Amino acid sequence: MPPDEGLALHRAACDLEVDGPLLEVGSYCGKSSVYLGDAAQAQGRVLFALDHHRGSEENQPGWEWHEPDLVDPAVGLIDTLPHFRRTVFQAGLEGSVVALVGDSVAIARNWSTPLAFLFIDGGHGAEPAHADYESWVPHVAVGGRLAIHDVFPNPADGGRPPYEIYCRAMDSGAFNEQPATGSLRVLTRCAPGI
């Protein structure tokens, strides 16, 4: 996440007007968790940082964004959880950032708390992106915010699924858009619906 997008994410999460926690889908090594966790801490809120910590499809061996140093040699799979925990600890945010480790859809099925802020930055394939959208957007309270990362209108600039879920939100009539920063889109819920 470029610094300008991180700062825009932080600003969007700082002046929330509805009750509830913040939740991010896709915390990876914790960079966005620091921006959001700081905003949560300043408001006396909690950020739930959700990730399975095995890396998205683009993080796997043979893909452009693979980082071999994130592979746990004992199991042969990516494990970003220790890196995430270290990042949150070093930022002094352990009291405001709660890690949720598991499958996004399974956790959403068992979630009942309305969200003041939802940040979607999980898997960028069609299935995981749309599943995150369908599973978590209904939990955003009216007046709450939805942020989506890696939204690229031009297919040559990046993958389509984050752009597709952004379009779904805008087409639903349930969200108003704030000014964009890079590939970050921030929307405010104005009505129920997905």
141-168 pLDDT, tens digit each: 999 999 999 999 998 888 799 999 999 9
What is d(CA 42, CA 101) in angstroms, rounded to the nearest whole number? Answer: 24
At 58, the pLDDT band (50, 70, 90 cuts) reads: low
Mean pLDDT, rounded, for 4-15: 97
CA distance 187 to 176: 5
Annotated catalytic residue within 53, 66, 83, 124: 124
**How much is the pLDDT for 63?**
54
Q: 17, exposed or middle or buried, with CB in 10 Å at 0-12, 13-18, 19+?
A: exposed
pLDDT the model gives residue 22:
98
Query: What is the sign, positive or negative, of the torsion defined by CA atoms of 194, 139, 164, 77?
Result: negative
Cα separation, 137 vs 37, whole angstroms: 20
The whole-model pTM stands at 0.93
53 is catalytic: no
User: Which pLDDT value is given to residue 173?
Assistant: 97
pLDDT-derived band at 62 (thresholds 50, 70, 90) equals: low
Average pLDDT over residues 74-100: 92
Task: Give the C-alpha distances (Å, rounded to integers) separating 192 from 25, 138, 165.
Answer: 21, 8, 16
